Amino acid sequence: MNFREKNITIGSVVAELPKASKIFGGYGIDFCCGGHRNLDAVIREQGIPAEEIYQALEEAQREREDSYRDISLNSMSPTALSTYIEDRHHSYLREALPEIADLLSTILRVHGSKHKELFEVYRLYGMLKSDLEQHLLREETMLFPAFENEADHREEISELSAIIIGEHEAAGEVLEKLRHATGHYHIPEDVCGTFRKTYELLEELEQDLHEHIHLENNILLKQYDTRGN
Ligand SMILES: [Fe+2]
Ligand SMILES: [Fe+2]
């Protein structure tokens, strides 16, 4: 739902997103008797900071989508979840990894002499890329097929899990170093659009990888994870 549209009524927002009633209550917006009124008009009439309320609604909507997504992923069979991970996250990486590598070598050539941190970013990214490429293959050729007949492959899955979770931890550490080397993906003022795009894509990759690893460690391999035992 796009809360910023002009003809959205307060009642329809609460019907779609129950948590909105709490947000509206906090701003003194009447969502019961005044539910038929347009949100946009009420915001203007009552002098409520529009951006603040739109952002609060959007945040609540995102949270709800995430929790629905987690519930449905939690109830998937390991095979279905593996297919989901492969379709969504492995495919994404197969496009993003080489694209970012090309962009990084371009910006290193153009901006490296002034932005020496790019040498370290380039080195770390190269490590992450090659580690992940073999990692994806390990999952696709060994782990995911083993789930097709999980009962017969428990021991194999358990051994693979230890390796795979270890590789996730190593990737997480490189991501942290990349974040540090790029100054939290801060884009310097004197650089070109390619530099900006590279850092934006790198940050997107970080986000996607965190989600991807969360699904594998905490859902797919949960019962095989021996860390902390
Ligand atoms: Fe994966
Ligand atoms: Fe993985």
The b-or-e profile of 144-163 (16+ CB within 10 A means b, else e) is bebbeeeeebeeebeebbee
Q: Please name which ligand lies nearest the alpha carbon of 92.
A: 1
**95 & 202 share domain:** yes
- Cα–ligand 2 centroid distance for 83 (angstroms): 13
**138 & 42 share domain:** no
- Cα–ligand 2 centroid distance for 131 (angstroms): 11
pLDDT of residue 228: 61
Measured over the CA atoms of residue 108, residue 109, residue 110 and residue 113, the dihedral's sign is: positive
pLDDT of residue 221: 94
Q: 195 in a domain, yes or no?
A: yes
- Cα–ligand 2 centroid distance for 42 (angstroms): 48
- Cα–ligand 2 centroid distance for 200 (angstroms): 22
pLDDT of residue 18: 84
Nearest to 108 by CA among 36, 181, 176: 181
- Cα–ligand 2 centroid distance for 76 (angstroms): 17
List, for the chain, all residue ranges whose pLDDT scores fall below the cut of 70. Answer: 228-229
Angle at 119 between CA 189 and CA 202, to 5 degrees: 65
Q: What is the pTM of this model?
A: 0.74
Helix axes 117-138 and 154-181, enclosed angle (nearest 10):
170
**57 & 88 share domain:** no
pLDDT of residue 229: 53
**29 & 50 share domain:** yes
Q: Please name which ligand lies nearest the alpha carbon of 93.
A: 1
Cβ–Cβ under 8 Å, residues 84 and 76: yes
Q: 3 in a domain, yes or no?
A: no
- Cα–ligand 1 centroid distance for 171 (angstroms): 12
At 7 the three-state DSSP class reads: coil
pLDDT of residue 200: 96
- Cα–ligand 2 centroid distance for 128 (angstroms): 12
Overall number of domains in the chain: 2
**93 & 49 share domain:** no
Domain span at 190:
77-224
**41 & 100 share domain:** no
